[in-house]
Amino acid sequence: MNVLVLGSGGREHALVWKISQSPLVNKLYCGPGNPGTASLAHNLEIDPCNFEAVKQAVMDYALSMVVVGPEEPLVRGIADYFSSEEALKDCFLVGPGARGAQLEGSKDFAKAFMRRHGIPTAGYASFTQEQTAEAVDYLTRHKPPYVLKADGLAAGKGVVILSDLQEAKEEIRAILGGKFGDAGNTVVIEEFLEGIELSFFFITDGTSYQILPHAKDYKRIGVGDTGLNTGGMGAVSPVPFADEAFMKKVEERIIGPTVAGLASEEIDYKGFVFVGIMNCGGDPYVIEYNVRMGDPETEVVMPRLRSDLLELLDALAKGKLVDASVEASPKGAVSVMLVSGGYPQEYAQGYPVTGLDQVADALVFHAGTREEEGVIRTKGGRVLAVTGLHADLREARSQAYRALSGIRFKDVYYRTDIGLDVI
């Protein structure tokens, strides 16, 4: 099979790394990819949201599968585009149609979906711009902390949690007033859930599913999970407290009903589902759906996946997912993100990265790098994800930290406590 992975981050490098190990792969491409994917696949200069360009690549390289990494092309309808184009009818696209992608693209849609199907999630109310006064009134009738969410995609910045009523009122007015553009035309106000958040992943064809290894990601910039929210500073898999009993609840109360809900609403969905779940005193509640894999979770999930990912996706394409199975390695994985100093606020780019060739017993996934005359340079906030994999999660953690200590670029920053809370 000739396969194209769309995207350019650490998640895509991990997907390419995994798919490249499959005996089913003939030629592997990544668009636009990064220097990490270039070592395993042919990078193509494609913008994943330029559907015409993706179509051209499918024809030029005789692709039989396209795996979509990020959410944006999915929310914009790349899967629907594939179904509507005659020239693409023999190429399978991994990812839901625009309607299914609303699970991530619209928080209001996701909440209403969960309400319709009895899936446990925080209580909520939605308000449009015209209902700003009602939204403010709603806040005064509820207790802090206030969880305010812009309905649409807001580059991971659309969730604001405030404990001061006055600030929350101002924030509601700002969001409905256009702070996040059209993404904030509707706002969801949610009950605050107390607990530990985990990331669960499954592949579905809209009627059956196969569960992938789960993970925990570390969202804040600072040690002890303090400071500003980021795209993710590290991840660990598995999470010891997500035991069999908890997994059973997640499957029975969330994964099963989600897939049954997709089927009953006839939503075309063939792809990954990522469910962010809060463990509230042993009971799982959905925080959010994403219609793609997580980043940096993929950098620990793929190393732990023993099954052939391409074989699973091929089963998905052929309507045989129900007969497939997923085998996870008993080994644990810990991934630490090296980021540019200043991230998630302003940071400089273009610094040379050294020491990459010295890494021995860890995996290095490129997230924000570029190559220039043989030199790898920083390009972006999150630069590299360094993953250790070992039977003992503690040793996996040590491997990652040992490996990253030899990698250098100016103003590099990373959290020193990834995995400590669960080991």
In angstroms, the CA 244 to CA 208 distance is 20
SS3 255: helix
Task: Please select the residue that binds ligand AMP; options are 5, 41, 44, 147, rule is CB under 6 A.
Answer: 147
SS3 357: helix
Residues that bind ligand GLY (CB under 6 A): 217, 232, 290, 294-295, 297
In angstroms, the CA 338 to CA 413 distance is 6
Q: What angle do CA 98, 274, 46 make, to 5 degrees?
A: 55
Task: Please select the residue that binds ligand AMP; options are 122, 286, 336, 386, rule is CB under 6 A.
Answer: 122
Closest CB to ligand AMP among residues 147, 324: 147
Closest CB to ligand AMP among residues 101, 287: 287
How many binding residues for ligand AMP (CB under 6 A)?
12
Cα–Cα distances in angstroms (integers) from residue 76 to residues 1, 226, 368, in the given order: 26, 34, 24
Closest CB to ligand AMP among residues 149, 304: 149
Contact region with ligand AMP (CB under 6 A), list: 98-106, 189-197, 233-241, 403-411: 189-197
Closest CB to ligand AMP among residues 193, 396: 193
Task: Please select the residue that binds ligand AMP; options are 193, 315, 383, 396, rule is CB under 6 A.
Answer: 193
What ranges make up the beta strands (E) of 151-208? 159-162, 186-190, 196-204
261 binds, among ligand AMP, ligand GLY, none (CB under 5 to 8 A by kind): none
CB 44 → ligand GLY: shortest distance, Å? 23
SS3 231: coil
Backbone angles phi, psi at 407, to 5 degrees: -95, 130
In angstroms, the CA 373 to CA 208 distance is 48
Task: Please select the residue that binds ligand AMP; options are 71, 108, 171, 190, rule is CB under 6 A.
Answer: 190
CB 294 → ligand GLY: shortest distance, Å? 4
Q: Which residues contact 113 (CB under 8 A, 6 or more apart)?
A: 103, 119, 261, 265
Verify binding: residue 159, ligand AMP, rule CB under 6 A: yes
CB 155 → ligand GLY: shortest distance, Å? 11
DSSP secondary structure letters along 319-340: T-GGG----B-SSEEEEEEEEE
Chain residues 238-277 in contact with ligand AMP, contact rule CB under 6 A: 276
CB 147 → ligand AMP: shortest distance, Å? 4
- By the 10 Å C-beta count (0-12 exposed, 13-18 middle, 19+ buried), 45 is classed as exposed
Closest CB to ligand AMP among residues 15, 122: 122
R_g of the chain, CA atoms, integer Å: 21
Verify binding: residue 224, ligand AMP, rule CB under 6 A: no
CB 292 → ligand GLY: shortest distance, Å? 8
- Site residues (CB under 6 A) for ligand AMP? 122, 147, 156, 159, 190, 192-193, 197, 219, 276, 287-288
